Structure 1
Amino acid sequence: MTEDEAVDDELLTIGAFAARARLSAKALRLYDRLALLAPAHVDEASGYRYYRADQVERARLVALLRQLDMPLARIAEIVEAPDGAAAAARLDAYWADVEARVAGQRTLAEYLRGRLSGRSSEMYGKFVVETVEVPEQVLITEMRHVLASELPAWIGASLGRLESAAHECGGVTAPPFVVYHSDVSMESDGQAESCVPVADVAAARAWLEKQGRTRETTVRVEPAHRLAFTRITKAQVAHPQILAAFEAVEEWMAKEGLWQAGPCREVYFVEDWDGAGAQDPVCDVAFPVR
């Protein structure tokens, strides 16, 4: 019997199975090697692979998912899902990640196009800049020297810790924000400060006493001030495309005759970060001004 013949009513040779699945034998061997589609039986003597007819649907599904440039681990999650609804939900989650990544890349391309073409001012004109008066605030904060690549994870973790601690400090009174005391880039680990405004300064200082030296935590009272800011989407938050927003605010300040009165910051007003879409407004890029 040749490898391309059917073995019996239950098992198919790799050639016969490949024809039914509309795939190549080479692709099937790859799926086996990647643990995405194992043969139903492998002959110990000849090494021939045999498949069941009911594996055709899985073979076709794997092939289609690979056309989405889906990582192998994500493909495995989908094909191993307990039912169709769960598989569809996992595909939805993957595609949401893809769309968010593409939106971020599109924003980055626009930023780079503006820089390379010398039309930065035209790019900055897309941002609407306003001012707002911010009252005096009691802040619990966490400091760290951080690279731009480390920012997303650290911001999420540090603000999460501070927002949990805020329950001991009278509760959160305003959106949390991150202050940049020195330059943060892919090469420079500048000092960043996560800040959560809270209601009770005495309770905040009591909380600080319990922290010891585990992290660079502080409590401070920030005086009332005026902010110049522009609102950006989730796709625009990523580095370096967020730099266009900072530069747009700086250009606007110069035109308006305003002076920078403190370090720049990002104010995160969205409550459900994970639920926000790529084009949803989530953050204000701001400078204290006078």
Structure 2
Amino acid sequence: MRDDLLTIGRFARLCRLSVKRLRHYDEVGLLAPLRVDARSGYRYYAPEQARDALTVALLRDAGLPLAAIRDALAAGPDARARLLREERERLAARMRRDAERWEMVDRLAREGLDGYEVSVGPEPGLRLGVVRSAGGGGAVGDRVGGCVVRLLAALDGAGAGWEPPLWGLYPLDPDEGMEVAVGAGSPSVEVAGLERVAVPAGRAAVTTHVGPYGQLPLAYHALFGEVYARGLRPRGPVREGYVVGPGAAAPEGWVTRLVVAVEEGGK
């Protein structure tokens, strides 16, 4: 047995960590003691383990998951740097989502739940050329953006005229794996890669959202709340008309028209 091993208490003081935290690192497989006494169960650590203990604590405080920390400790310098860059990007994405949530809650605090006017009345039909993204990986917003790119590339490549705005078509029951479609009104010629879709005219509930797409749930809350308050039943697809969008204004000036067909008898 090495004579320089430290008890868990002394090692905790050396690393400025709690004994409870070191025990947890051992239990989840992040940092095992060099020796555990078979009779007493006492844990003993080597002084050179202090760097790993401090690294684990630092990365946990930074919000990295246990699996990522375990991989980082086992990796060489180059692989560790790559892993940390990947975690940095995931953290940045989470911060963006949190910022969007903050903005939505801030808007609710300022405007309340009744900041949208919802009308119910006749809505003209649409004849669209669309591209679809049928579920699979990726966030819905990213897949919609991909559809827009494919749609505009197909229209430009065919020299086809079309009527703005672009329209997004979504099922009534949204989830990350749902099919989404983006279309342009009445392309003047047949365009390879575009599906012709006719959305019939009829009675619909309509509201307009002004602001970033991340705040669209506020508009949907108002839209469907009014539908059910009137005893109506919604029918898909839900339509989003991108009246003003990226490239034409800053996010706070984006204008999106929400339309859902309705019929009597909702329960």
TM-score category of the 2 structures, normalised to the smaller one = 0.5 to 0.7
For the 8 Å contact 1:143–1:193, the answer to whether it is kept is yes
Higher strand share: 2
Which residues of 2 match residues 243-262 of structure 1 at below 5 A? none
Task: Give CA-to-partner distance per residue, 1:193-213, whole Å, 9 cap, x none.
Answer: 333799894452xx46xxxxx
Name the residue aligned to 1:93: 89
Over residues 17-50 of structure 1, what are the superposed CA-to-partner deviations in whole Å (9 max), with x where a residue is unaligned?
A: 1121111222111011122222233344543333
Identical-residue share of aligned pairs (%): 27
2:129 is matched with which residue? 139
- Alignment match, 1:50: 44
Two-structure CA RMSD over aligned residues (Å): 5.2
The secondary structure found in structure 2 opposite 1:287 is strand
Unaligned runs of 5+ in 2: 118-126, 200-207, 224-237, 259-267
1:131-181 per-position Cα deviation (integer Å, ceiling 9, x unaligned): xxxxxx97333388x9xxx9x734534664785688777649899955247
Taking the aligned partners of 1:108 and 1:195, their CA distance within structure 2 comes to 27
Contact 1:172 1:198 in 2 (8 A): no
What is the aligned residue count? 220
Which shifted more, 165-174 or 16-25? 165-174
Q: Deviations over 1:214-243 (max 9, x none)?
A: xxxx23599xxxxxx87744xx52552565
Structure 1 counterpart of 2:240, from 261, 264, 282: 264
Q: 2:17 aligns with which of 4, 14, 23?
A: 23
Q: Which amino acid is 1:219 matched to?
A: R
Distance 1:40 1:54, change over 3 A: same
Tell me, yes or no, if structure 1 residue 107 matches structure 2 residue 109.
no
Query: Which structure 1 residue ranges, 5 or more long, are not aligned?
Result: 1-5, 125-136, 209-217, 223-228, 248-261, 271-279
- 1:96-143 CA-partner distances (Å, limit 9, x unpaired): 13421320221121132134487x48xx9xxxxxxxxxxxx9733338
**Structure 2 length normalisation: TM-score?**
0.55
Alignment of 1:67-216 (within 5 A): 67-83=61-77, 85-86=81-82, 88-116=84-112, 120=115, 139-142=129-132, 153-157=139-143, 160=146, 171=157, 178-180=167-169, 193-195=181-183, 201-204=189-192, 207=193
**C-alpha distance in structure 2 between counterparts of 1:283 and 1:72, whole Å:** 41
Deviations 1:66-95 (A, max 9, x none): 334443334445444532644652453243
2:217 counterpart SS class: coil
Is the 1:141–1:219 Cα contact (8 Å) retained in structure 2? no
Of 230, 244, 256, 1:286 maps to 256
Structure 2 match to 1:8: 3
- Match of 1:23, SS? coil
